[in-house]
Amino acid sequence: MMHSDLEKVLYREEEIAARLDRLAIQITEDYRGKELTVLAILNGSLIFMADLLRRIPLPLQLDCLRVKSYYGGTVTTGRVEFDHSALPLVHGRHVLLLDDILDSGNTLASIIETIRTESGASSLKSCVLLRKIKKRELSVEADYVGFDIEDEFVVGYGLDYQERYRNLPLIGVLKA
Ligand code: IMP
Ligand code: MG
């Protein structure tokens, strides 16, 4: 079973749920009365997105963006690719990006740059479930963070290793 591939569990389902409750309250307060578009970065943020958005009782719009960041094993190669024509129309809207994890920062930096220059959004913030404590290749920050974690490769709750483990309900570190 998937659990036996884990070296340790970082956050159990209940801990994630409790953190999402707090995050959702904060986001709800910050975006009350604003035209909010949530832009979820696929595939990693899928489960986080579903659980977080159901806790936010605002009239928001949801869009998704499929992004590929290239991995050699468990380390990013720094290449990020996405179809710019697939960006939703967010002119005049307040955009909140959702991603699973802030690691090197390449993914968020590249999407933020594109939205800033091409979309005419009224504002742009980002929210990540996890943020690795490390020196990032690019200076990019997340405005909302679920948990700060050590610089270890984690899986579960949407995060994969070679497309596996996304459906684990918890977040854990894989055995070497
Ligand atoms: P970044 O561009 O290096 O910040 O990484 C962004 C993407 O790399 C994330 O959206 C994840 O899909 C993937 N990633 C980074 N670290 C991990 C990890 O520890 N486990 C699984 N995927 C990761
Ligand atoms: Mg991935």
What value does the mean pLDDT take over residues 169-173?
98
Number of domains the chain contains: 1
DSSP 3-state of 98: strand
Convert the pLDDT of each residue in 14-39 to its tens digit.
999 999 999 999 999 999 999 999 99
Range of the domain at 113: 2-26+34-174
More confident call, 130 vs 73: 130
**Ligand 1 center to residue 37 CA distance, Å?**
23
Q: pLDDT band at residue 56, thresholds of 50, 70 and 90?
A: very high
Summary count for the chain: helices (H), strands (E): 3, 9
Question: Alpha-carbon distance 99 to 129, whole Å?
Answer: 7
- Provide the CATH number for the domain around residue 80: 3.40.50.2020
Residues carrying an active site annotation: 103
68 has pLDDT over 80 = no
Distance CA 71, CA 55 (A): 32
pLDDT in tens, 99-113: 999 999 999 999 999
List the single range of 36-40, 92-96, 106-110, 121-125 with lowest mean pLDDT: 106-110
* Ligand 1 near 110 CB (within 6 A): no
Q: Which ligand is nearest to the CA of 165?
A: 1
Confidence of residue 71 (pLDDT cuts 50, 70, 90): low
Query: Which atom of ligand 1 sits closest to the CA of residue 152?
Result: 19
